[in-house]
Amino acid sequence: MLHSKTESLHALPIFSMSCTASAAVRGASRCSSRRLVSTHNLLRNTSHYAPCATPPATRTSSRTYVSASKPDKAQVNVDTAIKADQRAFINQTGNLPGNVKMPGTEMSADVMMSPAAGILKQATVMDQGKRPIYLDAQATTPTDPRVLDAMLPFFTGLYGNPHSRTHAYGWETEKATEQAREHIANLIGADSKEIIFTSGATESNNMSLKGVARFFGRSGKKKHIITTQTEHKCVLDSARHLQDEGFEVTYLPVQSNGIVDLNLLEASLRPDTALVSIMTVNNEIGVIQPMKEIGQICRKNKTFFHTDGAQAVGKIPISVDDWNVDLMSISSHKIYGPKGIGACYVRRRPRVRIDPIISGGGQERGLRSGTLAPPLVVGFGEACRIAKEEMDYDSQRIQRLSDRLLKGLLSLEHTSQNGDSERFYPGCVNVSFAYVEGESLLMALKDIALSSGSACTSASLEPSYVLRALGSSDESAHSSIRFGIGRFTTESEIDYVLKAVKERVTFLRELSPLWELVQDGVALDSIEWSQH
């Protein structure tokens, strides 16, 4: 007898093959002691599967971006917009020789060999039909061409240090960074003085948890923090560090739909609780927590409320005042802004005090020292401005695409959505395909950029702790895939993905003896697996 169902699955030659595949891909050896058949080779050798040989037809069609903010210029072709930006860039900098032809057209051999041409090619092939369809919007989003446009001058002429008070170079970049700060504040209903720029949501989460805990823990009166088991790693890891410093942390379980139990939250609050940290939208399953109710509970108990808003800001309407949020982490690259920049909202009334985790020149109200990066700040601001202006439009589009995707995926037998099917952000669709190993499916879908968002993340072969917290079995967690729909996803891409998923799930299931048993009507639970 095997000791667990997962082990029993791994003992079956074909179903367990993916471990070899994923281990081989990563050079990992954790699964190697198990009896395995390589899916990788199986997939490579089969005529059913030729993932990248034939680029998806939809990829060759250019994407048209309909601008809600400029209805008079109703349709902006994204390819053209990007190329136009690139052309402007080349014209401004004179970086490339005059005979360069833009990507998508022929390049002369010497130009193709130049490093700059390679970079340009990489930067633009996203719409040239040569790379997988991008469906991983929770990991990151492409920079909106309009954001890039806003950033470019700050790499060249406008290079002043925004903290220089004595000359125009400083004044002009300071003005731009303050304008950006307002765009960010506007998006979440805050005052611009409450926005602290950071390097991203990871830093903001560290700053919020460690900052509040250390400031209020100093007196010895506030030694407790509450968070949930489904937070992003950077929140969980910050909490673990605080435990090492002597703080007590409650990691609240969630219900099977991924939502926190408010009664349990209330019951877990203590007079010495300094902070409650609960994310707005979950990055793996898209579930939206009841922010307003959580905020009310925290305010009533005079406990600060922090939320990781990395997957929510710019995607759903947010009002920090309505929700009684005291601190909020924001990331630029999740909303079509540049990477390496984010912000932390820190409430001024009632004032939240934090111990800075980075000390130095005292920038950002002394809460985060270091020279601001104006190109990034301006790009982030522009991304927020666009997100606010086009939120209705984007939401409707993404909702439509999400409905189409979910309906198609769930029409396959033995599939189910992970997380609450009502309270979730539609751009994050997490589906479990029973009797298919998620990593195998990802490998079979190389023409689509996806993530399991769960099983066997690159560093470990453990199933997703988020799905486990929902009560999913190891097998179910291992058979889950996250589909991330974004601003630039098209309907034809969704249709391509649906067709590809259906084909390859069917193919993989046909390889599985378990599936055969299920088809024969055998109840798998009734089987007693024996050791080979």
Ligand X SMILES: Cc1ncc(COP(=O)(O)O)c(C=O)c1O
Nearer to ligand X, 86 or 289 (CB): 289
Residue 400, token pair as written in the block: 């439509």
Q: What is the full DSSP assignment across 245-262?
A: TT-EEEEE-B-TTS-B-H
Residue 70, token pair as written in the block: 């400029």
Nearer to ligand FES, 230 or 464 (CB): 464
Q: Is 447 exposed, middle or buried (0-12, 13-18, 19+ CB in 10 A)?
A: buried
Rounded Cα distance between 358 and 374, Å, is 19
Residue nearest to ligand X (CB): 200
Q: Interaction with ligand FES in 406-445: which residues (CB under 6 A)? A: 437, 439
> To 10 degrees, the CA torsion angle through 280, 284, 285, 287?
0
Q: What is the full DSSP assignment across 488-531?
A: T--HHHHHHHHHHHHHHHHHHHHH-HHHHHHHTT--GGG-----
202 makes contact, choosing from ligand X, ligand FES, none, with CB < 5 to 8 Å by partner type, with ligand X
Binding mask 183-222 for ligand FES (x = CB under 6 A): ----------------------------------------
Binding mask 348-367 for ligand X (x = CB under 6 A): --------------------
Tell me the one-letter amino acid at 97: P
Taking each helix axis from N to C end, the angle separating 233-244 and 201-217, rounded to the nearest 10 degrees, works out to 30
Among 9, 201, 383, 448, binds ligand X (CB under 6 A): 201
Q: Minimum Å distance from CB 455 to ligand FES? A: 5
Say how many residues touch ligand X, by CB under 6 A: 13
Nearer to ligand FES, 109 or 459 (CB): 459
Q: Does 210 bind ligand X (CB under 6 A)?
A: no
Q: Minimum Å distance from CB 21 to ligand FES? A: 8
461 makes contact, choosing from ligand X, ligand FES, none, with CB < 5 to 8 Å by partner type, with ligand FES
The pairing of strands 327-331 and 304-308 is: parallel
Binding mask 181-200 for ligand X (x = CB under 6 A): -------------------x
Q: Does 475 bind ligand FES (CB under 6 A)?
A: no
Binding mask 278-307 for ligand FES (x = CB under 6 A): ------------------------------
| H-helix or E-strand spanning residue 225 | strand 224-228
18 makes contact, choosing from ligand FES, ligand X, none, with CB < 5 to 8 Å by partner type, with ligand FES
Helix, strand, coil percent values for the chain (each to nearest 5)? 45, 15, 45
Task: Judge whether 234 counts as a catalytic residue.
Answer: no
| H-helix or E-strand spanning residue 76 | strand 75-77
Nearer to ligand X, 138 or 324 (CB): 138
232 makes contact, choosing from ligand FES, ligand X, none, with CB < 5 to 8 Å by partner type, with ligand X
Nearer to ligand X, 56 or 337 (CB): 337
Q: Does 419 bind ligand X (CB under 6 A)?
A: no
Q: Does 223 bind ligand FES (CB under 6 A)?
A: no
Say how many residues touch ligand FES, by CB under 6 A: 10
Cis peptide before 115 (omega within 30 of 0): no
Binding mask 297-326 for ligand X (x = CB under 6 A): -----------x-xx---------------
Longest dimension (CA), the chain: 80
Nearer to ligand FES, 386 or 456 (CB): 456
Q: Does 461 bind ligand FES (CB under 6 A)?
A: yes
Q: Does 202 bind ligand X (CB under 6 A)?
A: yes
Residue 222, token pair as written in the block: 């506030």
> Of 319, 315, 332, 331, whose CA–CA distance to 391 is shortest?
315
> Of 503, 468, 501, whose CA–CA distance to 483 is shortest?
501
Among 342, 356, 426, 486, binds ligand X (CB under 6 A): 342
> Of 162, 250, 204, 511, whose CA–CA distance to 342 is shortest?
204
Q: How many other CB atoms are there within 10 angstroms of residue 205's CB atom?
A: 31
Q: Does 436 bind ligand X (CB under 6 A)?
A: no
Q: Does 277 bind ligand X (CB under 6 A)?
A: no
Rounded Cα distance between 383 and 379, Å, is 6
Q: Is 428 exposed, middle or buried (0-12, 13-18, 19+ CB in 10 A)?
A: buried
Residue nearest to ligand FES (CB): 19
Give bridge partners of residue 346 from the DSSP assignment: 327
Q: Does 452 bind ligand X (CB under 6 A)?
A: no
19 makes contact, choosing from ligand X, ligand FES, none, with CB < 5 to 8 Å by partner type, with ligand FES
Q: Which is catalytic among the residues 19, 31, 384, 456?
A: 456
Nearer to ligand X, 185 or 201 (CB): 201
Give bridge partners of residue 254 from the DSSP assignment: 260
Interaction site with ligand X (CB under 6 A): 138, 200-202, 232, 234, 279, 283, 308, 310-311, 331, 342
Active site amino acids: 456
